[in-house]
Amino acid sequence: MVATRLLSWILFVLICTTSVLAQTKPAKIWATATFNKSEVMLGEPIVVTVTVYTSTWFSSPPIFEEIQVKGSLMAKLEQRNSATSVTIGRKQYPAIKQRFVIYPNVIGTNTLPGFKVTTNCPPEGGYKGERREIFSKERTFNVLAPPEGIDPKSYIAAYKVSLKDQWNSNFKNLKAGDVLERRVTITASGALAAAIPPIAYDSVEFGSIYVKSPMLVNRQNRNRFSGERTEIINYLLEKEGDFSLPSIKVPWFNIKTKSMDTSSLDSINLSIAANPDLSFILSRQKELQNELAESNKQTGVTKSPFELLGLNWWQLFIVLLLVLVALKMVISWGKRINNVRIHKKNKHLDSADYYFNILKRSVQSESSNDIIKDFYAWYDRYRQHEFGPQFTEFLIELNNPTLNELLRHDMRQIYLSNSSIKPESMKKLVKAIESHKSHKIKNSLKSLTQDLNPINP
């Protein structure tokens, strides 16, 4: 009979599973890649939006694989995936978007390869996510040449370009042998730092010029990148007299107005006094040459802010601090819970109920020594301040004359002749104690009910 029921349940489960599997079918998943514009000037950014759709839902965020675009630089806009949904026909499809920025540096028609997207979506009618790899279609875009007469090597396409000039001196009391350090920072909104061309510095009449390796920094806002190139130039003043540094001009293509523009720094006048100590000037030349050599040895020219897992140093510090506080709280709570558990366990192991169960097992084993030992161990914990150490007070509480006389006789025999106690007597005692405990609980509940509701007797 049992085997028949078990076989019936197995068949029922198999039928239900087969029915569910028969109702599932692969989810419809596809990806698209769209441009914000398909024709741009050289260096002008193109925003590519890759969108993945599903007919069920995403059990985990999709993974958008970065690709290489020939003749272009591409960067991923690091931000949370944009979740949305679209309605096609009468069905709504969940979708997730990821944006990339392409900076073309080759004139002509270029091709964007298909993006590989890895998803985890359950089938239609199912619930467990399944790994799927899909690809978007290839797209083409056209790159136009800069206006006639503009050198592509010194050309920037941006929304805005600004120049900043910093010096280590106020140009007062200059003399031969002094070293002026100049920092020229070019900030281009909408362009990467690597796309900002270097500034050409002509030789100067009053001394030597030493150009160190530039510092490149990229910053990102919600919709675009901004590149920053900082050039460090040292001027060694070798001749006395009045001189002038020429202005600096940077031509760039304004993406908004579709026209050429120029950002510039004004020229600077220098007045240099004589210095009779020519040996000092020669020593400064060697120092600057050594500094320039050390600068050129540096392998990385890009100095980006410290980041780990997308967090800067102070955000990472706050996260670590919160983790340490949470860990300390968990450990503290764990110790408290463990102490409460140990206290409850120790309290139970020293309770009258625990020793009463031991007494019942001793009575079943019919061992006189264990019965007497376990009985008094239980009684010492049960009596507390209600009864004295003598068992006779508890026998009076039981109000069972027959059992009282029987136990008094057995106890007297034990003390007088060291004989064994009768297990039948102790079994009756255990039953009487259990009945007495149950009667006490009922009386306590009845008294509590009357106290809570004194109107009803």
**Domain locations in the chain as residue ranges:** 25-144, 152-297, 352-452
3-class secondary structure, 252? strand
Q: Which residue has the tokens 């019919």?
A: 366
> Which residues is 260 bridged to in the sheet?
253
Sign of the C-alpha dihedral computed for residues 405, 407, 408 and 409 taken in this order: positive
Question: Which of the two residues, 435 and 216, has the higher pLDDT score?
Answer: 216
Q: Tell which residue, 134, 140, 186, 139, has the closest CA to residue 160.
A: 186
The rounded distance, in Å, linking the Cα atoms of 51 and 28 is 14
| Segment of 111-115, 311-315, 397-401, 432-436 carrying the highest mean pLDDT | 111-115
Percentage of the residues of the chain whose pLDDT score is greater than 70: 70
The rounded distance, in Å, linking the Cα atoms of 4 and 12 is 12
**Position 228, amino acid:** E
Whole-number Cα distances in Å, 243 to 154, 170, 377, 385: 27, 15, 109, 109
- Count Cβ neighbours within 10 Å for each residue of 204-232 and write b for 16 or more, e otherwise: bebbbbbbbbbbbbbeeeeebbbbbbbbb
Model pLDDT, residue 406: 59
Q: Which residue has the tokens 């120092």?
A: 287
pLDDT at 53 exceeding the cut of 90: yes
DSSP state of 387: S
Model pLDDT, residue 295: 62
Query: Residue 284's CB: how many other CB atoms inside 10 A?
Result: 20
Q: Which residue has the tokens 């120049």?
A: 163
Domains 25-144 and 152-297 share a fold: yes
3-class secondary structure, 66? coil
Model pLDDT, residue 183: 94
Arithmetic mean of pLDDT over the chain? 79
Question: For residues 180 and 197, is the Cβ–Cβ distance under 8 A?
Answer: no
pLDDT per position as a tens digit, 57-113: 898 889 998 888 888 888 888 766 678 888 888 888 999 999 999 999 888 999 999
pLDDT per position as a tens digit, 393-430: 666 666 666 666 656 666 665 555 455 566 666 677 67
Structure tokens at 16: 């239900």
Q: Which residue has the tokens 């997730």?
A: 96
pLDDT per position as a tens digit, 19-50: 544 467 888 999 999 999 889 988 889 999 99
**Position 24, amino acid:** T
Question: For residues 29 and 123, is the Cβ–Cβ distance under 8 A?
Answer: no
| Torsion on CA atoms 363, 365, 366, 368, rounded to nearest 10 | -80
Model pLDDT, residue 50: 92
The secondary structure of the chain in percent helix, strand, coil, rounded to multiples of 5, reads 35, 35, 30
The rounded distance, in Å, linking the Cα atoms of 214 and 300 is 10
Percentage of the residues of the chain whose pLDDT score is greater than 90: 20
Provide CB contacts within 8 A for 173, sequence distance 6+: 273
Provide CB contacts within 8 A for 243, sequence distance 6+: 204, 205, 206, 269, 270, 272
Question: For residues 216 and 229, is the Cβ–Cβ distance under 8 A?
Answer: yes
The correct CATH number of 25-144 out of 1.10.890, 3.40.50, 2.60.40, 2.60.120 is: 2.60.40
Model pLDDT, residue 225: 87
The rounded distance, in Å, linking the Cα atoms of 65 and 27 is 21
Whole-number Cα distances in Å, 19 to 56, 57, 126: 19, 22, 12
Provide CB contacts within 8 A for 107, sequence distance 6+: 42, 143, 144, 145
pTM attached to this predicted model = 0.54
Q: How confident is the model at residue 303 (pLDDT cuts 50, 70, 90)?
A: very low
Whole-number Cα distances in Å, 17 to 5, 11, 23, 24: 19, 10, 10, 11
Model pLDDT, residue 447: 61
3-class secondary structure, 325? helix
pLDDT per position as a tens digit, 145-193: 887 777 777 778 899 999 999 998 888 888 888 889 999 999 999 888 8
pLDDT at 267 exceeding the cut of 80: yes
Query: Residue 259's CB: how many other CB atoms inside 10 A?
Result: 9
Model pLDDT, residue 29: 92
What is the pLDDT averaged over residues 246-268? 89
Model pLDDT, residue 301: 42
The domain made up of 152-297 has a fold known as Immunoglobulin-like (2.60.40)
Model pLDDT, residue 149: 77
Starting at the edge strand found earlier in the chain, the sheet holding 156-158 runs: 156-158, 248-254, 259-265
